[in-house]
Structure 1
Amino acid sequence: MEVKEISKEENVIIREYTFDSADIKRLEDKTVEELNKRKYHIEGFRPGRVPKEVYKLRLKEAFYDIYIADEAIKEAEKELDKESVNLLLPPVVADVKVTPEGGKVTVELHLEPEVNFDPAQLKIRKAKEEEVLEGYVDMRVKYVIEEHAILEPKEEEAKEGDMVKVKETVLLGEKKVRDGEEREYVLLKDDERDVVKQLYGKKKGDVVEFEKTFEKGEEKIVYKYILEVQEVYNRILPELTDEFVKSLAVENVETVDQLKDKFKSEGKEIYDRELGDSYRVQIIDQIPSIAQINISERTIQRAVENIIDNLKEEGKYDAYVQNYGSEEKLVEELRSYYINMIKKDLVVKKVAEENDIKVDNEDIKAYAERVSVEWGVSPDRAEAIIKGRQDIRNEVIMEIVESKVAKILSEKAQIEEVSFKEKEEGKEE
């Protein structure tokens, strides 16, 4: 078998794998051996002992066009497997021609294109650390104070800062979605919930009724709320003092300053983690607009055809066409999606290889510990889920790699510090 490179256009190489008559004879013998292993029944011959010439007579053109051609393709693929070639798509057999005198297998190889990417063009934003930590400490202190509020029943009307205890019933038509459930609401001006707004000015024993309409497509769903006010409480908030802090019995914390330092340390840990996540999202989103690749139109077309074939197999194609309005718009969207995905993947792969980025068990363990609360399981269970499901494991590994790549790229990016305080002050003005 002889291998020739016929042409190269951008990232696509066309190769021909040529077979002479001796190669074809060898493939014929191999094909007959495979057919006999299947023990096809042909009248007058023992299964597994059918001669080559009989197969030729029975199968006619299919002997070469299908069976010998299939063996020729397998040999071309084996030859390709010996090489270390990075492909975007599986090899595409563009043409196969086989006769007793010789044959030819034409293969399209869609190689990974070179990617050019300048991380200095990245522009990422981060919130000012001091502001974030200050806000976090204030929030945690406020929560602790409110958590230890003293409640005094009152006969007067409910006002700002009070807690109102109600029995809540919610009706959808005649159906009771909620039936006399006990609930407590703190009346705060920033709370935009209709339930909270309805309770201002109410007293113990009052009954509040109101309706709320939700739209579901063209349908309107109306819920009726009935709130029976059981009690109105005046909340007396404790003063933040060293004595109050001591009463909390927090380990190694006895003063207001120590409590705030503890909260600041917590906030710093959260800030660093969320900043890393923010960098990853911002950087990955910007890569397609910055990266440059020289990719063949033939590769894009083949990839889009593969995606469409998968959608059709899954029975989703018509829904996608309807969603985008036409086949042309869907194809255009798939083209854009594929190009952006390839740019992202190639940049991440390139940076990871250049910096020898790996994902080990410690990385998986740390990831599992971080998401265990979100998943509602223990860290050990989260780790077991990741390791036990290949699809989830692949996604997690990709996210960890992207995070490590983003950390490296962020060191070369343009970073803008954003003050949310200044933004809020600007809005008020």
Structure 2
Amino acid sequence: MPLFKVIKASNKLGGAKMEVKEVSKDKNMIVREYLFDKNDIARLEDKAVAELNRKRYHIEGFRPGRVPKEVYKLRLKEAFYEIYVADEAIKEVENELDKEELQLLLPPVIADAKFSAETGKVVVELHTEPEVKFEPAKLKLRKAKEEEVLDGYVDMRVNYVIEENAVLEPKDGQAEEGDLVKVKETVMLGEKKLRDAEEREYVLLKDDEREVVKQLFGRKKGDVVEFEKTFEKGDDKIVYKYILEVEEVYNRILPEFTDEFVKSLAIENVETTEQLKEKFRTEGKEIYDRELAESYRAQIMDQIPEIAEIEISEKTIERAVENIIDNLKEGGKYESYVQNYGSEEKLIEELRNYYLNMIKKDLVVKKIAEENNIKVDAEDIKAYAERVSVEWGVSPDRAEAIIKSRQDIRNEVVMEIVESKVAKILAEKAQIEEVSFKEQENKQEVEEEKKSE
């Protein structure tokens, strides 16, 4: 068996013959040699001279841009071939590789380039995309019971409407469970006022763990409450002083949830308690479906690296990690990363794992997207913009304009949309466990009761 195979016996580069050999293959990494004969060298010499003159390389005694080839050879000696002729050869090799439209994980790596007046060679590493094996049936997804979630959402929305329409009745006594307390709130950090007598309202509920709420139980109109709260920031402790002036205490009278109450809300096409609940259930179903899809996407993307199998060369991983480290150094972040991970060895191991997981995820997403002809169109972008506009604090049109005008943001959005479409397909083939959070809460309560006995 030959140690290498000839890929192209007569590959025309700029009108010249050139032999290309595949000298080795390690999983996804292919090593090629591009061989240049004497005729190729003569052509590359002319190209090197033209480039040197274009850059107006200065040699004493000659006009810049008009230096003859033989003078360059004489003055630059071996460097003429090792640097300048080699550069021209590498450009030609890179142009040919661009024409092949190879599916690569990394840009082609020029591993070596040796040139003389007689011959030359460029050695290239091609880190191709490996085949990926993935079994969607191995995915294990969890979802909350739909009816349980929707019932909880309806109850929450009904309670909110009732609370929102409570009648407030001033009271002279102490603030109790369910009362609303109106205060002027001042917050001090040292001598600096972060809040200065800002008007705030608090509903007193025993389940509310906020210190400001706890401090208002038992207070009356005219009382002034002072307390301190300490926060830790690294090794430092920051102490905030709160001053609450109780302006009013209100007894909240909650309306009964009746058809008459619902009619008073003047909601279009809603006149009964059942109609209002159905409206909330429909609203909750939209939220549930959207959040379930996002949950599935996150779960699937997390599980892909464990399930996917690829044959990838160690050299590919090494090259990728080197690139990441170079980027960290250029950005001045490398030392802080080493410090965070404790040593260079631990950082490199983490970067290896990060790269492998990322590649597995990207290859699976690409494979499923191609198999199912998944595309991202203008309507997808528009729908995404409408969904995130509230989070971004802008209008849907403005969100869409931002996505279209910023290539980095657009790339992230397109990838997220593709991942969501891929996840939808994979979820149909996955194992899905339905989880009751009520049952889990009940179990926890029982266990806590047993411990306290």
Same fold (TM over 0.5): yes
Deviations, residues 175-228 of structure 1 (Å, cap 9, x unaligned): 211111111000012211000011111111111111111111111111111111
- Asked whether 1:209 is paired with 2:258, we answer no
**Preserved CA contact (<8 Å) 2:215 2:225:** yes
- Asked whether 1:16 is paired with 2:33, we answer yes
Q: 2:322 aligns with which of 285, 305, 308?
A: 305
- Asked whether 1:366 is paired with 2:368, we answer no
Q: 1:335 aligns with which of 333, 342, 352?
A: 352
- Asked whether 1:383 is paired with 2:400, we answer yes
**Distance in structure 1 (CA, Å) of the matches to 2:95 and 2:312:** 26
Secondary structure of the residue aligned to 1:13 is strand
The match for 2:196 is: 179
Matches for 1:9-408 after TM superposition, within 5 Å: 9-408=26-425
Instruction: Give the partner amino acid of 2:216.
Output: L
**Distance in structure 1 (CA, Å) of the matches to 2:320 and 2:181:** 60
Deviations, residues 269-322 of structure 1 (Å, cap 9, x unaligned): 001100000000000000001111111111111111111111011000010010
**Preserved CA contact (<8 Å) 2:132 2:364:** yes
Which gives a bigger RCO, structure 1 or 2 (Cα 8 Å, sep 6+)? Answer: 1
Instruction: Give the partner amino acid of 2:370.
Output: E
Report deviation, 1:36: 2.2
**5+ long unaligned stretches in structure 1:** none
- Asked whether 1:411 is paired with 2:428, we answer yes
Secondary structure of the residue aligned to 1:288 is helix
The match for 1:421 is: 438
Secondary structure of the residue aligned to 1:82 is helix
**Distance in structure 2 (CA, Å) of the matches to 1:320 and 1:225:** 39
Report deviation, 1:35: 2.0
Amino-acid identity (%): 80
Secondary structure of the residue aligned to 1:152 is strand
Instruction: Give the partner amino acid of 1:106.
Output: V
Instruction: Give the partner amino acid of 2:407.
Output: Q
Give me the CA root mean square deviation: 0.9
**Distance in structure 1 (CA, Å) of the matches to 2:186 and 2:163:** 27
TM-score (normalised: structure 2)? 0.93
**Distance in structure 2 (CA, Å) of the matches to 1:41 and 1:166:** 80
Report deviation, 1:131: 0.7
**5+ long unaligned stretches in structure 2:** 1-17, 447-453
Report deviation, 1:32: 1.4
**Preserved CA contact (<8 Å) 2:78 2:116:** no
Report deviation, 1:46: 3.5
Instruction: Give the partner amino acid of 1:304.
Output: V
**Preserved CA contact (<8 Å) 2:187 2:194:** yes
Report deviation, 1:95: 0.8
Instruction: Give the partner amino acid of 1:324.
Output: Y
